[in-house]
Amino acid sequence: MEFKDGQTVGIDLGTTFSTIAQLDGEGNPVPLANDDGEMETPSLVLLAETGHVVVGPNRMRAAMEEPTHVVERIKREMGNANFKQTFDGRQITPEFLSALILKKLRQDAVRRIGKIGNAVITVPYYFNDQRRKATQDAGRIAGLNVVDIINEPTAATLTYAWHRGELGATATGSDKPRMILIFDLGGGTFDVTVVRYTPTHFQVLATAGDVQLGGVDWNDRLMNHVADEFEARHGSDLRQSAATVQMLRNDCDLAKLDLSENTETTITCRHGGKAISVNVTRDRFEAMTADLLQRTADTTGLVLEQAKVEAEQLDAIVMVGGATLMPQVPRMIERVTRRQPSRDLSPYTAVAQGAAIHAAILEAKYRGEKSELADKVRKMLAAVRQDNVNSHGLGVAAVDPKSGRMVNHVMIPRNSTLPADCRQTFKTNRDKQQRVSIQVLEGDAPDPRACSLLGKCRITDLPSDLPKGSPIDVTYAFDAFGRITVKAQDKTGGKEASIDIQRHGGLDEQQLDAYTALANNYLVE
């Protein structure tokens, strides 16, 4: 880890909105307003013309543009090597498009606080290794020195502790350990995490989530409801028009917000010279999205079970993410846990504020007295320690002796406290086997094909007369920083091999340099 000259910030790179924050001289995590005076910047990219993009345009302008030039919800595509988008004769990737959002955040913040040298960027806890690497690459393309990637619920926990005066060596709150559940339902992703903490020690006990569940899915249910009504009345499917969908998505988002305050609302839609007004009650909206809410309830119950914690043992249930403002969400949490959730934090900025706190903690530790942080802030944060768990299992592809089929044998289960390690003995599959290949898998599914292949560790030139069933020792080690080391040893002849798993992504160094140069040439407004 290396800190460069300039300010250090935290960034919540969201599916629908993104926010940047920094600790002020008093140690307060402060969101930084963009050029429009807003704390949140829409994560919507308009590829306006050659070398020119608009980040966060209003829906009216976006609807008037060529549909293929409007990109939204790009966070859901992070790490997806199959994503295809071409602009100005070039193929662009989720990393590049996310970098344009980050570049806009950086540009606006520089006007307020000066040069930005370092950043911590948040990701959902349930992001796998490839998605995390893609996020890190996006920061690099945007010209940021990404000193760390932090999980969004962990960031929210830091903000909660700070809010209560329970953060750092000079905390004024109680030293008694507290246990909280972070319920993070954002625009496009969902996480539930149980954390135990004292002012100087934060420990994640369990986590689970869904990177394809968020407020936009509630919006889409409304949009499809209106589209179905339009088709029934006028005989045409308005979803075939990208411009109409742009406007209707905006109207449905506003309708969702309206239903959080009122018991009914009306959505008006015009398409192909025809119009329709659809009245939607809160009860009807909740009924058409009940299965989405149930998915969050099921995950909440699962995390409590995996943390071995009863709901009554929790000191608080903390809601973050804009979608938690829907009234059915706190009602569901209260029904599942028999506890009233806390609204102490801003659902919009809490994650970015926590990222700023984490960035300052790292700066206090690695820069020491050379840190630009005020001395009292540095001393407060330098003592903070954070322990995480792995959000996905780490396994090896092995032959099931009963079925003869390849299975994912999980070595380090998900929600294991890091660092973690495991050693196990496997056997060769046939006589005179000359090599062994250890396929390192990320995921919890029994079928290896449903998991991500992180890398391979190979032992070659085994003894020529090795009989079937000869022992091979395999050791997995997962350190506190998420680095993975795998070792394999032939117990008969002593031959061994090892591999350090590096975060991998869709972009290699040459591509990263090319996209960084391209981003530098783009005018972002």
Which residues are known catalytic residues? 12, 75, 152, 184
**Which residues are CB-contacts of 94 (< 8 A; sequence separation ≥ 6)?**
74, 77, 78, 79, 80, 83, 134, 138
Q: How far apart are CA 105 and CA 45, in angstroms?
A: 13
User: In whole angstroms, what separates CA 299 from the centre of its chain?
Assistant: 16
* CA distance between the termini of the chain: 31
Torsion over CA: 445, 447, 448, 449 (sign): negative
Q: How far apart are CA 392 and CA 412, in angstroms?
A: 9
User: In whole angstroms, what separates CA 217 from the centre of its chain?
Assistant: 17
Type of residue at 398 = A
Q: How far apart are CA 206 and CA 179, in angstroms?
A: 12
Torsion over CA: 128, 220, 100, 244 (sign): positive
Peptide bond into 419 cis (omega under 30): yes
- How many CB atoms are closer than 10 A to CB 485? 15
Residue listed under structure tokens 């010209």: 143
CB 219 within 8 A of CB 227: no
User: In whole angstroms, what separates CA 133 from the centre of its chain?
Assistant: 11
Side-chain-side CA neighbours of 388 within 13 Å: the count stands at 20
From the list 234, 224, 231, 233, the residue with the least C-alpha distance to 255 is 224
Q: How far apart are CA 184 and CA 351, in angstroms?
A: 9
